[in-house]
């Protein structure tokens, strides 16, 4: 166990635990955009920045991203002060210039008193804030279908060469994890479209309800050794099947006792 001080309170933490996790456990609210429990932290949004110091640092302080900084013995952490407020405000100010149409960014920025960006606004700017939560979740899934492509201001998240990613299985994890809902997808009839790629949805054998994509199911069947018949029917029909199977057993047992 490691002892450290956060906002004047002494807390204990497991060795190797990140500062952000300790702070969240204490109920300290620090804004985050790219943080998600399921993915590795990379410190892309930089909003979870905190100021740290130690007793023997002679008053020196430094700002670090708390999602990436492991706890240390004797660390003194400050999560909210004027300097950190300015840092977070600047980040959101820049994001507001990049993604002027994003409600998510606008809402966060308004909490810092920002109505309009003080930087030249990119009118064609999209909602992507380059947090790469989508590419990281795809890595966890084991597909790595999408990645940041191009350089500089042209940088976007896309499939290889900006084309439809051949490895994508249409699971929508990237779209669900995206904080700004920039990744667009739609289900029309039997087809799901995401990243300009089309997928066929599995239709329930009994009722015709659409479930996940065929590619996603095949991936789970292969990777996690699940029987393929589990994916043939939808959850509603599977529940009824369970009731029927159990019911038949009850009837059988009753007949046996009579």
Partner 1 sequence: MKYCFQVIPELCTGCRTCELACAFKYAKDGKPGRSRIYPLAHAKDQYVPVVCFQCDDAACVRACMFDALRRNDETGAVELDKERCVKCEACVAACPFGCALTDTDQNEIVKCDLCQGDPVCARFCPEAALKYVEIED
What x-and-dash track marks residues 196-235 binding partner 1 by CB under 8 A? Answer: ------x--------xx---xx--x---xxxx-xxx-xxx
∠ CA 183-89-76, rounded to 5°? 110
45 touches 23 (CB < 8 A)? no
What x-and-dash track marks residues 159-198 binding partner 1 by CB under 8 A? Answer: ------------xxx--xx---------------------
72 touches 2 (CB < 8 A)? yes
Residues 18-77 binding partner 1 (CB under 8 A) are 36-38
How far, in Å, CA of 5 to CA of 134, rounded?
33
Binding flag, residue 258, partner 1 (CB under 8 A): no
Classify residue 249 by burial, with Cβ atoms within 10 Å: 0-12, 13-18, 19+. Answer: exposed
Among 69, 54, 113, CA closest to 88: 113
If the CB atoms of residues 72 and 232 are measured against partner 1, the closer one turns out to be: 232
- Bin 247: left if φ > 0, else alpha if -120 < ψ < 50, else beta: alpha
Residues 131-150 binding partner 1 (CB under 8 A) are 137, 140-142
Binding flag, residue 252, partner 1 (CB under 8 A): no
Provide, rounded to whole angstroms, the least separation between the CB of residue 105 and partner 1: 21
Provide, rounded to whole angstroms, the least separation between the CB of residue 191 and partner 1: 17
If the CB atoms of residues 69 and 216 are measured against partner 1, the closer one turns out to be: 216
> How many other β-carbons are positioned within 10 Å of the β-carbon of residue 85?
12
If the CB atoms of residues 54 and 210 are measured against partner 1, the closer one turns out to be: 210
Binding flag, residue 246, partner 1 (CB under 8 A): yes
> How many other β-carbons are positioned within 10 Å of the β-carbon of residue 107?
9
Which of these ranges, 10-18, 81-89, 181-189, 244-252, lies near partner 1 under the rule CB under 8 A? 244-252
Phi/psi at 50 (5° precision) = -130, 165
Chosen residue from 153, 254, 256, 258 binding partner 1 by CB under 8 A: 254
Provide, rounded to whole angstroms, the least separation between the CB of residue 104 and partner 1: 15
Provide, rounded to whole angstroms, the least separation between the CB of residue 62 and partner 1: 28
If the CB atoms of residues 49 and 212 are measured against partner 1, the closer one turns out to be: 212
Among 144, 173, 146, CA closest to 160: 146
Handedness of CA 28, 33, 37, 41 (dihedral sign): negative
Residues that bind partner 1 (CB under 8 A): 36-38, 137, 140-142, 171-173, 176-177, 202, 211-212, 216-217, 220, 224-227, 229-231, 233-244, 246-248, 250-251, 253-254
């Amino acid at each position: 166990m490691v002892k450290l001080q956060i906002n004047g309170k002494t807390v204990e933490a497991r060795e190797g635990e990140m500062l952000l996790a300790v702070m969240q456990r204490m109920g300290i609210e620090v804004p985050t955009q790219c943080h998600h429990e399921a993915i590795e932290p990379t410190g892309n949004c930089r909003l979870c920045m905190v100021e740290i110091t130690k007793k023997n640092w002679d008053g020196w302080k430094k700002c670090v991203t708390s999602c990436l900084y492991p706890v240390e013995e004797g660390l003194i952490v400050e999560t909210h002060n004027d300097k950190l407020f300015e840092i977070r405000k600047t980040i959101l100010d820049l994001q507001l210039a990049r993604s002027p149409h994003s409600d998510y960014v606008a809402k966060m920025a308004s909490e810092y008193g920002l109505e309009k960006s003080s930087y030249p606004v990119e009118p064609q700017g999209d909602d992507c804030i380059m947090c790469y939560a989508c590419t990281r979740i795809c890595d966890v899934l084991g597909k790595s279908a999408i990645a940041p492509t191009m350089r500089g201001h042209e940088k976007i998240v896309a499939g290889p060469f900006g084309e439809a990613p051949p490895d994508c299985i249409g699971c929508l994890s990237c779209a669900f994890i995206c904080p700004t809902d920039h990744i667009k997808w739609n289900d029309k009839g039997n087809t799901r479209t995401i990243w300009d790629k089309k997928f066929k949805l599995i239709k329930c054998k009994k009722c015709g309800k659409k479930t996940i994509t065929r590619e996603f199911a095949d991936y789970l069947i292969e990777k996690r050794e699940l029987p393929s018949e589990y994916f043939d029917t939808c959850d509603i029909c599977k529940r009824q099947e369970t009731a029927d199977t159990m019911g038949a057993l009850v009837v059988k047992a009753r007949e046996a006792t009579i």
